[in-house]
Structure 1
Amino acid sequence: MNESTAGAAQSALSLQLPAPPAALLRMAALMAAPTCDVDTLGDVIEADMALSSALLKTVNSAFFKLSGRVQTVREAITYLGHREVSAITLQNALRAAFPPAPELEALWQRATERSRWMGVVAQALGFDAWAAHSAGLFEECGKALLYRHAASRYRLIWAQAPADDALLVSLEMQAFGASHDILGAALCETWGLQASAVHSVRHHVQTQTTLALSGPLGHRRIAAVSALAHHATASAADFERCLESIAQQLELPAARLRAAISSLPPRQEAPA
């Protein structure tokens, strides 16, 4: 993915990518650093009233089951950790960038579940957990962009391939000259996400279909976790084929991948 590709896709559609809050760009830079300054992170989020209010509302929801009510961003970081707080902030900001639509609710639900899955598994493997979480969250955001651009038209296209993203990408290219994987990667770049997350979003459909990893090791690792997350809901045979292929390409024991996946907490309903 490069700037000219993203620009061409947007130009062909006359599509304007939603701009991130300035605080979110600063937060993304902090999270991409080798070590995150937690005090600075708290200051950055607190400086944006909309981001901090949405964060506190989410943290105080029944999903997190905290013993007391959290009053400040610093308290949220103390209870949940800086990565979880940053993930919630990024998730809330991404969702707020699009007008509410019933058709997008399932997409946001999948994004929340997938991003948590990818973050936990990446952390267990010693990969970049923040990049994995971000990639999982943004993987389908290109669909939301196309829906916002031409809701009625895209609704019909989406209905033709509700569970086949490879077919959907082909239909999107025919109809718009750009597909959700390209547009999602462009939004990742605009929102300051790491190159490995951008790469994973850009190639997630191809990777999930072919299981072929590409790019530098850090990029391949995030794309691998994306493929595992995708095939985790497939048949046991398909998932095993994916796991063995990923293990071979990353030169890791398959048992290590299985152990990382087994570290996932029991599934629970994600916060709205």
Structure 2
Amino acid sequence: MPVDPTLRSLNIDLPAQPQVLMQLSLLLAEEQVDFKAMGSLIEGDMALAAAVLKALNSPLYGLRQPVRTVQQAIQYLGTSEVAAITFEMGLRSVFPASPELDALWFRANRRGMLMALMARRLGMQSFAAHSAGLFEECGKAVMFKHAPEQYGAMLKNAPSDDLLVLQEMQTYGVSHDALGAALCETWMLTPAAITCVRYHVVVQSGGEWPDKPGARPLCALSAVAHYLLRAPEAVDAAVRAAATLGELDEARLMEAAHDAHAVMRAA
């Protein structure tokens, strides 16, 4: 999905992808990922490696013993899991630390994990699912960095994302879902993940889904994760709708959703 040409004329900067993530993307694109090269690449950025290890040693991952090196983490968790956490830490590093964004990053972490867990259970690519969930709200961080006071107030007071995008269009001429998709493209995420980020507000508010078969299953995971995070009591109805529109088996998606929710609650 090409970046909307109108975005290029706006005075809103998209943060550049850290070099280590660019190199990591190239490694992950190889048919056989070089574990040692991946570990060395991440460990070459001391601040990033420290953040990755801190995240992986949290109770959320349930490791029986602490990991002390990225190489060790890859052995225990695999390349997809470690790469996803590295992208999360790298994404957060390009934005200012701010209490206004703390809830956003918390949701991004949980959403990414939920989507990855469901994807793995369904035989889908877990890294693409994790990335789509992680980057879903990144356009809000872009806008906050551009206008922290004005957008911070807007973000705090918006009752829902579908109303927020209307306010964004009126104020800035662009919405956070479009900005997020543009950032995903410049950071070389998969086309399906880019489309998922671009349409997540429309999908979650009951609008028309994208006419891109490759992206619809990811959109389904996004919709289900949205309910798991915000209204778990309504997730069964969400699964039924998402399975049909996302062209997924309803029973398998239902099982994957409940299993993912159980893992997150246990953690």
Which TM-score applies when normalising by structure 1? 0.88
Aligned partners of 2:249, 2:8: CA distance in 1, in Å? 42
2:143 aligns with one of 138, 142, 146? 146
Asked whether 1:216 is paired with 2:212, we answer: yes
In the TM superposition, what whole-angstrom CA distance separates every residue of 1:18-48 from its partner, at most 9, and x where no partner exists?
A: 1112220122233355553323322332333
- Say what the alpha-carbon RMSD is for the aligned residues: 2.2
Aligned partners of 1:85, 1:144: CA distance in 2, in Å? 23
Contact 1:211–1:246, Cα closer than 8 Å, also in 2: no
Aligned partners of 1:150, 1:109: CA distance in 2, in Å? 21
Asked whether 1:25 is paired with 2:22, we answer: yes
Contact 1:181–1:204, Cα closer than 8 Å, also in 2: yes
Contact 1:60–1:69, Cα closer than 8 Å, also in 2: yes
Asked whether 1:205 is paired with 2:201, we answer: yes
SS in 2 for 1:217: coil
Displacement of 1:88 after TM fit? 1.2
Contact 2:224–2:238, Cα closer than 8 Å, also in 1: yes
Q: Give the corresponding residue for 1:259.
A: 255
Which TM-score applies when normalising by structure 2? 0.90
Q: Give the corresponding residue for 1:2.
A: 2
Displacement of 1:81 after TM fit? 1.7
In the TM superposition, what whole-angstrom CA distance separates every residue of 1:97-148 from its partner, at most 9, and x where no partner exists?
A: 1111111111100100000000100111112211110010011111111111
- After superposition, the Cα gap between the structure-2 partners of 1:62 and 1:241, relative to the gap in structure 1 and judged at 3 Å, is closer
Asked whether 1:245 is paired with 2:241, we answer: yes
Aligned partners of 1:219, 1:34: CA distance in 2, in Å? 22
Aligned partners of 1:254, 1:90: CA distance in 2, in Å? 30
Aligned partners of 1:168, 1:107: CA distance in 2, in Å? 14
In the TM superposition, what whole-angstrom CA distance separates every residue of 1:190-217 from its partner, at most 9, and x where no partner exists?
A: 1111111110001100111126432332
Matches within 5 A, 1:114-133: 114-133=111-130
Aligned partners of 1:269, 1:101: CA distance in 2, in Å? 28
- Structure 1 residue runs of 5 or longer lacking an equivalent are none
Kindly tell me the number of residue pairs found equivalent between the two proteins: 265
Q: Give the corresponding residue for 1:177.
A: 173
User: Aligned AA for 2:117?
Assistant: V
Asked whether 1:106 is paired with 2:103, we answer: yes
Aligned partners of 2:61, 2:203: CA distance in 1, in Å? 33
Contact 1:23–1:48, Cα closer than 8 Å, also in 2: yes
User: Aligned AA for 2:109?
Assistant: T
1:56 aligns with one of 53, 56, 61? 53
- After superposition, the Cα gap between the structure-2 partners of 1:243 and 1:92, relative to the gap in structure 1 and judged at 3 Å, is same
